[in-house]
């Protein structure tokens, strides 16, 4: 075969090498938003943001007490804390206190939150400032725990940072903090609950879940119901969002969840039972003043009204678009309005899930979205979520906000994986939100602050949209940093305005001789030095400087009074006051603010009010009160007709006869007889029946009748909040009447023998005694306290045993795998 001939190539001339300077290629900005550093980045961001928000409180320029619609910070939070601290100093672990109305078991709801313990440890002198410090810690803790939860979802580091940041600066946290900051503890508990739940569902371990449930149980048991509802939806949705999971494995984890729940309740028994007892013994639950009938009567498909709809829309964009504090112009009030705000980024991105999700997951997302829409648009279903206990949003706002936020954070994670978002949908979304922002929802929309908040929200939407578009095309790390920065500025600004642009007590104002620091304190101290016996004090004024009248002055100023304002007042004090016509027990509002006794000068003596502090609101001299002294602008009167805490009756009056009397006749009748239910007449057969009251009311008559009741009264020799010792001698069988709301925790012994306590005069305590000499001992033993302690000890032992067994099994399993 002939060989092919190849043409010889001519040599090419060598190229001339030109020595030109090299231009360096710009190095990309490094990505520090990794899992390794994300926790520390978030921690720094949360500390910086919350320091800016709380700086005036932390540096002592202001105290964390509000005079506006958030007056509960002053009238409840501060008052509760001061009472508990002083009770601990005097009695040890708080049980009963006579500074809460006519007396009540005060440990429930005050000792269940670990954050409260820190406030108590810091002492009463630091109280106004320590409240702010603890709120600062709560905000940071909430953000970090929510971050830990997001990590369980396998979201990107950027998404976890953003989620933790906006949760730690959420609308729910900031508005609750400047109102009734027990709620901010709930946000911390919820974030830990979600972390524990996700940890369990993913098969990593059950051991966080009992702790999460126990923390909620000892703080606010009703939240077990609310968070439980949310968790049911969460757990069911979780299953349908999983790509690969065996039903058997899922059901096993559900079993572990149920077991963990029961164990958590057992571990929290020490306070869980006490909290339940207090709720059940309040008029809001068992006293006939609940909203159940009213709320269940609303048509299920009746939508929200225009004002509430506008408020709902506005509260997604921030807390203050309808004004802050007393300047708020939306539905109900600034505090009770929905608190959906969890940053604007989630609102921009959550619609993308319906395009990015696979078909089988899209249906689940649509179902969840429909459920959320129904709850928002039709109040009946919101009432149902709350068990028809009230017209509330509160925690429900946080659940809805979290749902939307999770969708948005998932989209961010998908974008970082290289997924492309739909730009048309993004553009439509931002136009839609800006259009909603442009609508005037109230006549006062154009105030300076409202206009400013509206413009800020619009600009933030536009800037975030521009950044998302840039990242969509370039994937630059710089864009991620800018998204974090914008979110940081946005959320910090909203939270700062919520807590600072309000009517707040300054540090200098707090030190003045006004408000709770007025001369009432000196007057109370004068009485304590003058009289060492047990007695009550009343005022015809309130010392608080907030827009709402303070009725918790006894808690703050350290005296035994009659007034009180709490969420769960003792139902038998409410019943007593209702029986005397002081309040309408069907009006839930009236059962929380109890101050009517001080408007009845003769009834004050009946409940042992021996002294009155007056600013001439009530002319006490006209009712026979004697002037003692004057302390600055406060007049101190003594009540010559004040009865001891324990005095005796030889007669009773049936309820039917008593209710036929006029108000003044009722007051006088209480100086002659106690009141019993008609069907209980036979129980008191050994006493005389009084069928009518005197029709002539004179000061001499009042003095004569009160002196008669004092003749065979209980001579108290020793007393504390939880114990009384004394004696009395009876010439005939009588009823020892104790001006203490009837409570099964009070135990009474006469000459060492246990006595049966009875509810008399609508809600007070009575003990039938035979004639003769009686040594009386009284002790308050919180109902179910011992059972609760044993439950907690048993729960902790079971938990420790199961935990040890779990780790041994895991170690054994690892050993088998290695071998």
Q: Work out whether strand 609-614 and strand 634-638 pair parallel, antiparallel, or are unpaired.
A: antiparallel
Q: Which helix (H) or strand (E) holds 418?
A: none
Give the pLDDT of residue 636: 96
CB 719 within 8 A of CB 743: no
- 606: three-class secondary structure by DSSP: helix
Give the pLDDT of residue 10: 41
- Concatenated DSSP letters for 92-123? SS--EETTSTT-EE--TTTSS-HHHHHHHHH-
Q: How far is Cα of residue 529 from the mean position of the Cα atoms in its chain?
A: 37
pLDDT-derived band of residue 7, with 50, 70 and 90 as boundaries?
Answer: very low
Helix 395-416 crosses helix 448-474 at what angle (to 10 degrees)? 30
Taking only the tens place, the pLDDT of each residue in 566-595 is: 999 999 999 999 999 999 988 888 899 999
Task: Answer whether residue 619 shows pLDDT above 90.
Answer: no
**Which range, of 147-156, 272-281, 548-557, averages the lowest pLDDT?**
272-281
CB 507 within 8 A of CB 331: no
Give the pLDDT of residue 702: 86
**Which range, of 267-271, 448-452, 464-468, averages the lowest pLDDT?**
448-452
Taking only the tens place, the pLDDT of each residue in 178-189 is: 999 899 999 999
Give the pLDDT of residue 17: 38
CB 468 within 8 A of CB 322: no
Task: Answer whether residue 443 shows pLDDT above 70.
Answer: no
pLDDT-derived band of residue 1, with 50, 70 and 90 as boundaries?
Answer: very low
Rounded Cα distance between 685 and 589, Å, is 38
Q: Which residue has the tokens 């009550």?
A: 536
- Concatenated DSSP letters for 488-505? HHHHHHHHHHHHHSS-EE
Question: pLDDT: is 379 or 287 the higher one?
Answer: 379
Rounded Cα distance between 238 and 356, Å, is 17
| pTM score, whole prediction | 0.92
Cα separations in angstroms, 70 against 63, 376, 460, 502, 650: 13, 25, 28, 9, 49
CB 65 within 8 A of CB 177: no
Give the pLDDT of residue 814: 73
Q: How many residues does the chain have?
A: 819
* Torsion-angle region of 721 (φ positive above 0: left; ψ -120 to 50: alpha; else: beta): alpha
Taking only the tens place, the pLDDT of each residue in 322-354 is: 999 999 999 999 999 999 999 999 999 999 999
**Which range, of 138-152, 360-374, 479-493, 798-812, averages the lowest pLDDT?**
798-812
- For the chain, what is the mean pLDDT? 92
């Amino acid at each position: 075969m002939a060989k092919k001939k190849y043409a010889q190539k001519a040599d090419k001339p060598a190229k001339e090498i030109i020595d030109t300077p090299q231009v360096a290629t710009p190095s990309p900005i490094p990505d520090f938003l990794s899992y390794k550093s994300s926790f520390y980045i978030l921690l720094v961001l949360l500390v910086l943001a919350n320091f800016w928000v709380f700086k005036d409180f932390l540096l002592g320029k202001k105290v964390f007490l509000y005079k506006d619609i958030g007056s509960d910070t002053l009238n409840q939070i501060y008052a509760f804390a001061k009472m508990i601290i002083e009770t601990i100093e005097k009695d040890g672990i708080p049980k009963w206190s006579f500074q809460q109305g006519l007396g009540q078991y005060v440990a429930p709801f005050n000792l269940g939150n670990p954050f409260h313990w820190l406030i108590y440890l810091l002492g009463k002198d630091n109280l106004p400032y320590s409240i702010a410090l603890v709120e600062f810690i709560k905000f940071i803790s909430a953000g970090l725990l929510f971050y830990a939860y997001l990590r369980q979802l396998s979201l990107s580091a950027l998404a976890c940072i953003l989620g933790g940041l906006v949760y730690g600066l959420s609308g729910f946290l900031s508005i609750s903090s400047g109102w009734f900051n027990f709620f901010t503890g709930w946000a911390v508990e919820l974030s830990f609950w979600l972390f524990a739940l996700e940890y369990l569902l993913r098969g990593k371990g059950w051991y966080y879940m009992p702790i999460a449930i126990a923390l909620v149980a000892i703080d606010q048991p009703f939240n077990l119901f609310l968070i439980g509802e949310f968790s049911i939806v969460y757990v069911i949705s979780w299953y349908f969002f999983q790509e690969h999971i065996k039903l058997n494995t899922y059901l096993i984890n559900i079993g572990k969840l149920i077991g963990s729940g029961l164990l958590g309740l057992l571990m929290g028994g020490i306070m869980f039972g006490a909290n339940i007892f207090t709720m059940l013994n309040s008029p809001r639950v068992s006293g006939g003043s609940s909203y159940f009938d009213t709320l269940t009567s609303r048509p299920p498909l009746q939508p929200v009204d225009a004002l509430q709809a506008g408020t709902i829309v506005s509260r997604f964009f921030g807390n203050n678009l309808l004004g802050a504090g007393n300047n708020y112009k939306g539905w109900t009030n600034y505090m009770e309005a929905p608190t959906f705000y969890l940053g604007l980024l989630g609102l921009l991105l959550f619609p993308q899930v319906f395009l990015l999700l696979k078909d089988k997951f899209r249906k689940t997302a649509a179902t969840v979205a429909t459920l959320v829409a129904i709850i928002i648009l039709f109040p009946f279903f919101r009432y149902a979520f709350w068990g028809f206990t009230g017209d509330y949003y509160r925690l429900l706002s946080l659940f809805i906000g979290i749902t939307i936020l999770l969708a948005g954070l998932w989209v961010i994670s998908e974008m970082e994986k290289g997924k492309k978002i739909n730009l048309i949908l993004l553009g439509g979304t931002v136009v839609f939100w800006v259009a909603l922002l442009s609508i005037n929802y109230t006549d006062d929309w154009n105030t300076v602050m409202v206009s400013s908040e509206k413009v800020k929200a619009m600009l933030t939407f536009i800037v975030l949209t521009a950044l998302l578009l840039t990242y969509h095309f370039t994937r630059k790390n710089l864009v991620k940093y800018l998204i974090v920065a914008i979110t940081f500025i946005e959320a910090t600004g909203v939270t700062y305005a919520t807590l600072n642009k309000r009517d707040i007590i300054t540090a200098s104002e707090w030190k003045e001789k006004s408000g709770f620091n007025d001369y009432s304190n000196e007057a109370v101290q004068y009485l304590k030095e003058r009289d060492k016996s047990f007695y009550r004090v009343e005022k015809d004024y309130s010392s608080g400087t907030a827009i709402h009248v303070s009725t918790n002055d006894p808690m703050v100023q350290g005296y035994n009074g009659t007034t009180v304002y709490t969420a769960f007042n003792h139902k038998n004090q409410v019943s007593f006051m209702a029986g005397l016509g002081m309040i309408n027990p069907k009006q839930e509002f009236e059962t929380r603010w109890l101050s009517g006794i001080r408007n009845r000068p003769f009834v004050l003596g009946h409940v042992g009010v021996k002294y009155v502090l007056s600013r001439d609101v009530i002319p006490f001299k006209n009712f026979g009160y004697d002037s003692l002294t004057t302390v600055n602008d406060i007049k101190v009167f003594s009540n010559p007709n004040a009865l001891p805490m324990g005095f005796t009756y030889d007669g009773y009056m049936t309820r039917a006869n008593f209710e036929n009397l006029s108000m003044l006749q009722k007051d006088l009748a209480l100086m002659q007889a106690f009141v019993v239910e008609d069907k209980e007449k036979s129980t008191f057969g050994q006493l005389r029946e009084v069928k009518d009251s005197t029709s002539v009311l004179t000061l001499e008559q009042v003095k004569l009748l009160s002196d008669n009741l004092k003749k065979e009264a209980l001579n108290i020799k020793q007393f504390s909040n939880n114990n009384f010792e004394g004696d009395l001698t009876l010439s005939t069988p009588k009823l020892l009447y104790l001006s203490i709301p009837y409570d099964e925790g009070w135990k009474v012994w006469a000459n060492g023998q246990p006595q049966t306590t009875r509810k008399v005069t609508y809600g007070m305590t009575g003990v039938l005694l035979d004639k003769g000499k009686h040594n009386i001992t009284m002790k308050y033993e919180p109902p179910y306290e011992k059972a609760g302690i044993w439950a907690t000890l048993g729960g902790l032992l079971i938990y420790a045993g199961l935990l040890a067994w779990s780790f041994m099994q895991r170690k054994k399993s690892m050993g088998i795998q290695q071998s």
